[in-house]
Amino acid sequence: MKNLSIFLFACLFATFALVSCGEKEDVTPTPTVSLYERLGGIAAISAVVDQFLANVVGDNVINARFAPTVADPFRTQLLRNNLIDQICAGAGGPCQYKGKTMLEAHTGMQITEAEFNALVGDLVAALNQFNVPQKEKDELLAILGPMKSDIVGQ
Amino acid sequence: MRFFRFSIAVFALVCLAGWFLLRQPYSPTQELQAVSYTAFNVVVPDSIAGFSLAQAARGWEGVTASTFNPASGLLVVSHTAKITERDLLGHLQILSSKPVSKKNFPEPVGAKCPVPQAALANLPNWLLGTGIIMGLTFVLLSIAQKKSHTLELSA
Ligand code: HEM
């Protein structure tokens, strides 16, 4: 009986270990070159997002919205990583977006069209700074564009 | 002793089950270095001078991005812990030869969760660690008890 309980415990441990290890390697190869790869992978996306958020923090049309985020290192990190995950996953990369839905995240903020355009302008400026080609820029903006209805006026 | 062992096993299972339910899927972002965004009020003769300050900042170790916004007069630097706000301020002051000040964004007012957010985010890791330690303790205790039982029998 005692041996059986030890055996069961060992099995349980092994299962947990396998489940947690298996996830990291679950990257299915895609036949065509994904937007993620064309953008330059996670390093390039994180460089663009850092530039994008720096632009946002400097932009007095919208930076007041992000004041509590910038004042809190944990929130800053969360927003930055969520944005990287969102772009990376949307572009076909191996990331998992773990944040709220766009509707959940922006409900109650009453974001205006002008603010949305200002933020998109900051993103485009970041993409231009890294000389991202027009095709990739358009593809990325096409992923984010449809989110507008969940963000503006909510 | 038996009750103690049983409690440890139950505790380990509860921790592991908690970890299993709360764990986040792996994402390569977890491996990125944390950054902060620090904004400075700079006084520059024209926007070109502001842009070149931002350009210079991009070359400093620990700086991941930098921008100057002529409309707000803010120079924003995204940086890792390799370079502090004080270092940035010092470098910018030297380069611009004009007073530079950090722009402080107001902290959020109102009720705040008393548990630090970072601690909550680390909860799954804590549960996994505690579950493994408790599980190993259970296994070691079981082995020790089995050995002492065998010794008793042989004596
Ligand atoms: C395509 C446009 C946008 C995208 C992709 C986007 C994406 C995101 C994401 C991923 C989050 C984090 C969600 C989470 O915490 O789980 C977030 C939060 C937030 N967004 Fe947006 N957003 C967009 C537009 C805007 C605009 C236009 C504004 C305002 C000017 C805005 C203000 C905020 C604020 C204040 C937060 C909360 C940050 C925090 O929790 O500290 N967003 N957004």
Per-residue tens of pLDDT for chain A, all 154 residues: 455 455 545 555 555 554 454 444 455 555 589 999 999 999 999 999 999 999 999 999 999 999 999 998 899 999 999 999 999 999 999 999 999 999 999 999 999 999 999 999 999 999 999 999 999 999 999 999 999 999 999 9
> What's the rounded Cα separation, in Å, for the pair A77 and A5?
43
Residues A88 and A124 in one domain: yes
> What's the rounded Cα separation, in Å, for the pair B52 and B78?
16
Residue B122 main-chain phi, psi, to 5 deg: -90, 0
pLDDT at B5: 85
Q: Is the CB of A57 under 6 A from ligand 1?
A: no
Distance (Å) from the C-alpha of residue A85 to the closest C-alpha of chain B?
7
Residues A55 and A100 in one domain: yes
Residues A10 and A38 in one domain: no
Residue B33 main-chain phi, psi, to 5 deg: -70, 145
Q: How far apart are the first and last CA of chain B?
A: 21
Considering only CB atoms, A71 lies closest to which of B9, B107, B132, namely B107
Neighbours of A77 (CB within 10 A): 19
Distance (Å) from the C-alpha of residue B104 to the closest C-alpha of chain A?
8
Domain extent at residue A13: 1-30
Looking up tokens 């564009």 gives A145
In this predicted model, what pLDDT tens digit does every residue of B21-67 receive, in sequence order?
888 888 899 899 999 999 999 999 999 999 999 999 999 999 999 99
Residues A76 and A115 in one domain: yes
Q: Is the CB of A89 under 6 A from ligand 1?
A: no
Domain B34-102 has CATH 3.30.70.100: yes
Residues A18 and A58 in one domain: no
Residues A25 and A46 in one domain: no
For the domain that residue A68 is a member of, what is the CATH number?
1.10.490.10
- Which letter, b or e, does each residue of A92-103 get, where b requires 16 or more Cβ atoms within 10 Å of its Cβ? bbbbbbeeeebe
> What's the rounded Cα separation, in Å, for the pair A148 and B4?
57
Distance of alpha carbon A122 from its chain centroid, rounded?
16
> What's the rounded Cα separation, in Å, for the pair B28 and A99?
15
Residues A50 and A84 in one domain: yes
Residues A108 and A42 in one domain: yes
Residues A14 and A39 in one domain: no
Residues A115 and A136 in one domain: yes
Q: Specify the DSSP element, H or E, that contains B39.
A: strand B36-41
Q: In this structure, are residues A126 and A51 in contact, taking their beta carbons and an 8 Å threshold?
A: yes
Number of domains in chain A: 2
Radius of gyration of chain A (CA): 20
Mutate-to-test residue for ligand 1 from A55, A57, A141, A151, highest number of ligand atoms within 8 A of CB: A151
Residues A111 and A40 in one domain: yes
- pTM score of the predicted model: 0.82
pLDDT at B117: 74
Per the model's pLDDT, the better-predicted residue between B119 and B99 turns out to be B99
* Distance from Cα A75 to the centre of ligand 1, integer Å: 11
The encoded tokens of residue B113 equal 């969760």
In this predicted model, what pLDDT tens digit does every residue of B122-143 receive, in sequence order?
888 899 999 999 999 999 998 9
Q: In this structure, are residues A102 and A143 in contact, taking their beta carbons and an 8 Å threshold?
A: no
Task: Provide mean pLDDT across the span B4-15.
Answer: 89
| Secondary structure of B85-111 as H, E, C letters | HHHHHHHHHHHHCCCCEECCCCCCCCC
Residues A126 and A106 in one domain: yes
Yes or no, beta carbons of B64 and A5 under 8 Å apart: no
Looking up tokens 């070359």 gives B59
Can you point out the beta strands (E) in A71-125? none
Q: Specify the residue with its C-alpha closest to ligand 1, atom 18.
A: A105
> What's the rounded Cα separation, in Å, for the pair B148 and B154?
10
| Secondary structure of A123-141 as H, E, C letters | HHHHHHHCCCCHHHHHHHH
